[in-house]
């Protein structure tokens, strides 16, 4: 079963969900802002995506710019655990949608990337 971590306020997320619905693949929808991800799930998602934690963070978001960008600019290096804790505290910072099909995953930006794992 395909899992989509979805934010209904996101255009990319809505378009990705539409692709899944149109493709007739069974899927589970998780509104991740309503059901916060935990450390274990975030670590698994990062591993499946084969990315560094910072790549899952929306660094253009105001929350990031106001609270964390100055630390990066001054040379601070966050650990994987720190990035994960930031995403848990501020779920709005998580890139979306995240689509997982078994052991494959993509961030649905652009939404057509979902086809890579269907």
State the Cα–Cα distance between residues 112 and 117, nearest whole angstrom.
10
For residue 109, the enclosing domain spans 2-117
Q: How many domains does the chain have?
A: 1
What per-residue confidence (pLDDT) applies to 32? 83
Q: Is residue 48 within 8 Å of residue 100, measured between CB atoms?
A: yes
For position 36, what pLDDT does the model report? 83
CB 7 within 8 A of CB 32: yes
pTM (two decimals): 0.91
CATH code, domain with 50: 3.40.30.10
Consecutive sets of 10 residues in the chain, 118 residues long: mean pLDDT of each?
93 94 92 88 97 97 97 95 96 95 96 94
């Amino acid at each position: 079963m395909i899992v989509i971590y979805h934010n209904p306020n996101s255009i990319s997320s809505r378009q990705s969900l539409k692709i899944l619905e149109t493709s007739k693949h069974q899927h589970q929808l998780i509104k991740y802002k309503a059901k916060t991800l935990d450390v274990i799930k975030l670590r698994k998602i990062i591993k499946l995506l084969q990315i560094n934690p910072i790549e899952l963070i929306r660094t253009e978001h105001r929350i990031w710019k106001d609270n964390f960008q100055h630390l990066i600019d001054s040379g601070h290096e966050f650990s994987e655990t720190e990035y994960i804790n930031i995403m848990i505290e501020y779920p709005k910072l998580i890139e979306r949608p995240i689509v997982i099909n078994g052991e494959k995953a993509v961030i649905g930006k652009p939404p057509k990337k979902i086809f890579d794992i269907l």
